[in-house]
Amino acid sequence: MQKTVTDMLTNKDNWKRPPGWLLGLLLMLCVQTAAAVPFGMFDARTMAMGGVGVASGPQFATFNNPALLATADEVHEWFLLAPTLSQQLGDPNNVEDNLAAFQQAADTLDGNNNAANRAAVQQQLDALDGSLYSTSRNSAFVLAIPSRILSGAAFFNVYEASTAQPMIGGDNLTTPSYASTLAQRGLRIVENGVSAAKALNGGGWMQNLTVGFSAKFLLVSGYGYADPLRSADVDISRTGNKSGGQFMFDVGVLKEFGVWKAGLVAKNIVPGNYKYGDSGDTFKIDPQLRAGFAYQSRYSVLELDIDLLENDPVGFGSPSQIAALGWEWQIWQWLAIRAGYNQNLTGNEAAYGSAGIGLLINSLQIDVAAYSGDESEGISAQLGLQF
């Protein structure tokens, strides 16, 4: 007879064998479906290190892998992150500038309808055709107790992302009249919840193994509409949204082999379907699966993270399946420098590089980060307290 998950968890013989069933359980939770929200960078350390964080960084475990909460050797047991802020912008085709240039050229054409002015408007329409504008931001608060004895966290995070795409066609410049539009798709996710982790500290494969769990409630709003290109703006409007809510869960594991660490996290393991406003388009929040491998010495960390599933984009963006490499060096007790590299394995986006620093002044921690590439750029800053 086929064994159930309950049988596997309660049968003591199973705990004597390597945890293949545990990996299988995570894989079952994360079937091969796409996620509407890419694996985000919600703290400055993660952004500075190219997006890694599944196998290191216990203070930021709620964002990357809850199992990390039980791996810290911290002098201070409590950590308050209040707040972390980030902003990301992707405008490789200069949509914002070209849109303003088109509207200015159209104003000129309204005042003087001649061949030269019509050509100038058409030039701007051609520049907008096939282009894409995207932006995202988040703000979060976290109270964490990362410890090998008792570990837990409470968190609140607001994530917003949107894309704008010009839809060019049907314009009559002789009149002139315009049928082109700027289509907008965006979402806003407010999540609040708690995380907990436990070091198993058993024999065999259970030695230096930690497991973590996050339970959270999501409020999700979707936006979708099209504005006349003649008066459109790249900033998305929140009117006409479709909203919903659901409970969501994350599960993570981490195994330490001396200075080596291997982590696996399954995020958003309860699927949800939502609408981009009244546009007729829909998006999903489906499971995400990411693995991380890190070398951590006394003063440095080198980590590689890989998405094991391809994620659908927000709106009109490109799919993503990220491989990220990050490095951190603790130069002095009060100063850490970080760098990273991030590559989309689907081939639809260019790679980018990142860098940042972390300062610890008594109990005050300040982290800043930035990244830049051909497709997008972003910044992040956060203020933390250890006590």
Closest CA to 370 of 46, 40, 38, 37: 46
What is the percent of the chain with per-residue pLDDT over 90, rounded to a whole number? Answer: 73
Over range 84-95, report the average pLDDT. 95
pLDDT at residue 216, rounded to an integer: 97
pLDDT at residue 96, rounded to an integer: 96
pTM for the full predicted model = 0.87
pLDDT at residue 387, rounded to an integer: 79
Position 219 confidence tier, pLDDT thresholds 50, 70, 90: very high
143 pLDDT above the threshold of 70: yes
pLDDT at residue 146, rounded to an integer: 77
Name the phi and psi angles at 205, rounded to 5.
-70, -15
- The model's pLDDT over 31-82, given as tens digits with 9 standing for 90+, comes to 434 345 678 899 999 999 999 999 999 989 999 999 999 887 655 578 899 8
- The model's pLDDT over 221-258, given as tens digits with 9 standing for 90+, comes to 999 999 999 999 999 988 889 999 999 999 999 999 98
pLDDT at residue 6, rounded to an integer: 36
349 pLDDT above the threshold of 80: no
Token representation of residue 222: 């979707």
Return the CATH superfamily for domain 34-92+133-166+181-386: Outer membrane protein transport protein (OMPP1/FadL/TodX) (2.40.160.60)
pLDDT at residue 24, rounded to an integer: 46
183 pLDDT above the threshold of 60: yes
Domain ranges within the chain, ordered by starting residue: 1-30, 34-92+133-166+181-386, 93-131
